[in-house]
Amino acid sequence: MSTPLKKIVIIGATSSMAEHCARLWVAQGAAALTLVGRDRARTESVAADLRVRGSQASVAVETVDFEDARAIASLAAGLATSGPIDLVLIAHGSLPDQPSCQRDLDACASALSVNGVSPVLFAEAFAAAFDAAGRGTLVLIGSVAGDRGRRSNYVYGAAKGLVTRYAQGLQHRFAGTAIKVVLVKPGPTDTPMTSHLKQQGTRMATPEEVAHLIVDGAAHGKPVVYAPKKWALIMMIIRHLPSVVFNKMNI
């Protein structure tokens, strides 16, 4: 009897972190991946690469409006009809320009929606499918920026802070069950989204390094994964700095 394929859904599959996670899952063996993106051509390109890398893998592509609650609910319900989903990775987002968000409320609203509300909508939709199946692992990509609001990126940080609080609530909801919720908090990572930071000399982790930590965290159902691990200590210090000290810092 053949081993059933592990069903994995990746939201925001064209992101560098998500793509490297997919490569690791394909390399591990038989998997049925569904890549969800906004741009079909880009998502199909990622799928084609994965099919070459893993002969045992099944790779499908779906597109959806990432800010349409009804479309998200329909997608999640549809993907669950063919059997229980083992793992969902929600990895999409964008790094907004903080001054632009301050000047333009449309830009501010978009940043909050794409980085905060949209991941929560996807998570809630798939949480319903996991609840019905009685099992599953949900991985949400947050950010160290959500640990404390800072002048340099507080709109983005607020969105990721929403993801953090949501993940905590979802973990509480499913405590004691076979459903695991993993919150990943990457530090600055070398992706197209952060190219301007790299030009400024910011030291960054590689997407491959972060992907390994995500895949390991998902496999073990870790509640929180800082990527790289050093950010757990760094952000603990930043969270606990007194305001009189923190407000003098240009970060």
The catalytic residue positions are 156
C-alpha–C-alpha distance, residues 223 and 108, integer Å: 29
- Give the distance from CA 151 to its chain's centroid: 23
Ramachandran angles phi, psi of 224, nearest 5°: -135, 135
**CA–CA separation, 184 vs 139, rounded Å?**
7
Q: Which two tokens stand for residue 207?
A: 């997407």
- Is 93:117 a contact under the CB 8 Å cutoff? no
Q: Which of 115, 167, 142, 111 is nearest to 231 (CA)?
A: 142
Reported as half-sphere exposure (CB side, CA atoms, 13 A), residue 22 has a value of 35
Tokens standing for residue 230: 């050093």
Tokens matching residue 8: 């994995």
Beta strands in the chain (DSSP E): 6-11, 31-37, 58-63, 87-90, 136-141, 179-186, 224-227
Instruction: In whole angstroms, give the CA distance from residue 211 to residue 214.
Output: 5
